[in-house]
């Protein structure tokens, strides 16, 4: 299967000239890349210098940059679902990581080095994830961001070699002693604000529509375990990940007594489920899994955004439960990202930013050390990101703790994006 790497924009057209290079290899900047651009493997307007520096698909290996960069460069690998079922999440992850690198490089870099990103498209498949992992294991930073959904990430991990993997998934649960780190809070922590909101609304029964695959069943399990502890009831129905119509399952869940719906799915499966919800003119509150809490998902809807559309997320939406440092950092983060990308922050963007924080901390703390040295550093030291002091200290797991999570609500328009809950469940 042909693998494709997305090359970087060294500058974007602006009125009256061009912007400075973003120093992001493989990045697409804040704008969406057309499908034909991904299919070609290299965006047509890229500078030859960018291709040579990236060493990405289509770059002539003998070509050297016209001049050496002012600082040495650490290239970070990023494995993304840029096409296929997880493409909505992959696009948002890429924007978030590009933004992080842009901010770091504008501030002088990490330990005297600039950062660049080399992307590889998994096509949302385990096989694609494996191929990308083998390709990205050669990056000189010894850091690979695992930004794909569960299928591609599970395919990638066994193929990683001499690097640390930083995963954005809340359902991966990497074991302590491994070189893979989960930078998103445990799924049970991510679903907790939803369960709290259900109880606060005096509702009792959650109807879960889940895909019959590893991603869907993992999300279902987290909801079931959390609901049991909270005294709530869960009814569930399975769907084929490739199904285009799930009206039957939704009607069954309603008949089963569901008072709020949760879609434990990713990508096109979530879109199919919400389309069926819309066609039935259902008015139950509906909550999406974190990967769908993206601006690109809202843009993909072929109908108006449902008024009672919510999502579990790693967004610090609102102010409840946040420290003063977290509130300040998130306010700055939202404003700067909006100015950079001309769209609001979403859950995938924030998780990619967290992944960038962990990668940078490991590089700074070890001076660009080996994978073993970075693994030791991350398990022994706190990581400060967006005002939070996070640690990989959950017993037996390389999973981050002390990270904000929230229930978010979709705004009335795409431009509003995702934010704090305006209408209680």
**Residue 329 within a domain:** no
Query: What is the spatial distance between Cα 313 and Cα 403, in angstroms, rounded to a whole number?
Result: 11
* pLDDT at residue 170, rounded to an integer: 80
At 230, which CATH number?
Answer: 3.40.50.2300
Are 44 and 181 in the same domain? yes
Q: Does residue 306 sit in the same domain as residue 243? A: yes
pLDDT at position 169 is 86
Number of domains the chain is built from: 2
Residues near 396 by Cβ (< 8 Å), separated by ≥ 6?
A: 175, 176
* Beta carbons within 8 Å of 55's beta carbon, 6+ residues apart: 25, 61, 118
- Same domain (yes/no): 146, 216: no
Question: Could you list the residue range(s) of the whole structural domain that residue 54 is in?
Answer: 13-186+338-390
Pairing of strands 388-390, 383-385: antiparallel
- Start-to-end Cα distance in the chain: 45
35 class by beta-carbon count within 10 Å (0-12 exposed, 13-18 middle, 19+ buried): exposed
**5 domain-assigned:** no
Residues 209 and 107 in one domain: no
- Shared domain for 303 and 203, answered yes or no, is yes
User: Is the residue at 396 inside a domain?
Assistant: no
Q: Is residue 424 part of a domain?
A: no
Neighbours of 155 (CB within 10 A): 21
411 and 300 belong to one structural domain: yes
Mean pLDDT, the chain cut into blocks of 10 residues (425 residues total) = 39 35 36 37 33 31 39 96 85 93 96 97 96 97 94 95 93 92 89 95 97 91 95 98 96 98 92 97 95 90 96 84 90 95 92 96 97 96 93 93 90 93 93
Do 307 and 346 fall into the same domain? Answer: no
Same domain, 191 and 181: no
Enclosing H/E stretch for 332: helix 324-341
Task: Determine, yes or no, domain membership for 401.
Answer: no
| DSSP 3-state of 175 | strand
Task: Identify whether residues 294 and 147 lie together within a single domain.
Answer: no
Same domain, 145 and 19: yes
Whole-prediction pTM: 0.78
Neighbours of 196 (CB within 10 A): 14
Domain-embedded: residue 320? no
CB 315 within 8 A of CB 408: yes
Residue 77 pLDDT: 98
Is 324 buried (19+), middle (13-18) or exposed (0-12) by CB count in 10 A? exposed
Question: Same domain, yes or no, for 254 and 113?
Answer: no
Environment class of 200 (CB within 10 Å of its CB; exposed 0-12, middle 13-18, buried 19+): exposed
Q: Is residue 397 part of a domain?
A: no
The two beta strands, 260-264 and 205-211, are parallel
Order of strands across the sheet with 143-146?
114-121, 73-80, 143-146, 164-167, 180-182
Residues 85 and 146 reside in one and the same domain? yes
Q: Is residue 8 part of a domain?
A: no
Q: How many other CB atoms are found less than 10 A from the CB of residue 204?
A: 15
284 vs 277: CA distance, rounded Å: 9
């Amino acid at each position: 299967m042909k693998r494709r790497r997305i090359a970087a924009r060294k500058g974007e057209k602006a009125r009256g000239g061009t912007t400075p290079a973003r120093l992001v290899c493989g990045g697409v900047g804040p704008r969406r890349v057309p499908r034909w651009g991904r299919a070609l493997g290299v965006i047509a307007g890229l500078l030859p210098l960018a291709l040579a520096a990236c060493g990405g698909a289509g770059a002539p290996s003998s070509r050297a940059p016209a001049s050496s960069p002012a600082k040495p460069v650490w290239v970070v690998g990023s494995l993304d679902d840029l096409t296929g079922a997880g493409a909505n999440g992959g696009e948002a992850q890429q924007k978030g990581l590009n933004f992080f690198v842009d901010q770091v490089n504008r501030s002088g870099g990490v330990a005297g080095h600039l950062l660049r990103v080399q992307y590889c498209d998994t096509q949302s498949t385990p096989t694609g994830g494996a191929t990308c992992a083998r390709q990205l294991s050669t990056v000189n930073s010894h850091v690979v961001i695992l930004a794909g959904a569960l299928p591609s990430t599970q395919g990638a991990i066994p193929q990683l070699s001499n690097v640390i993997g930083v995963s954005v998934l809340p359902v991966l649960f990497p074991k302590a002693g491994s070189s893979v780190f989960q930078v998103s809070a445990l799924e049970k922590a991510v679903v907790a604000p939803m369960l709290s909101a259900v109880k606060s609304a005096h509702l009792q029964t959650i109807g879960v529509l889940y895909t019959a695959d590893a991603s869907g069943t993992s999300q279902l399990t987290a909801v079931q375990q959390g609901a049991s502890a909270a005294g709530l009831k869960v009814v569930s129905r399975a769907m084929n990940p490739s199904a285009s119509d799930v009206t039957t399952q939704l009607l069954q869940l309603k008949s089963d007594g569901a008072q709020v719906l949760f879609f434990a799915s990713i990508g096109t499966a979530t879109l199919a489920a919400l389309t069926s919800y819309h066609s039935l003119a259902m008015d139950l509150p509906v909550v999406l899994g974190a990967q769908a809490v993206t601006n690109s998902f809202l843009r993909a809807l072929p109908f108006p955004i449902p008024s009672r559309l919510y999502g579990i997320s790693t967004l610090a939406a609102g102010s409840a439960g946040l420290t003063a440092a977290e509130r300040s950092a998130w306010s700055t983060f939202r404003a700067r990202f909006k100015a950079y990308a001309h769209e609001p922050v979403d859950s995938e963007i924030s998780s990619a930013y967290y992944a960038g924080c962990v990668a940078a901390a490991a590089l700074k703390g070890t001076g660009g050390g080996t994978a073993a040295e970075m693994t030791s550093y991350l398990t022994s030291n706190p990581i400060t990101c967006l005002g939070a002091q996070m640690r990989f200290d959950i017993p037996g797991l390389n999973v981050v703790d002390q990270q904000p999570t929230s229930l978010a609500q979709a705004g009335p328009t795409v431009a509003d994006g995702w934010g704090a809950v305006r209408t209680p469940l």
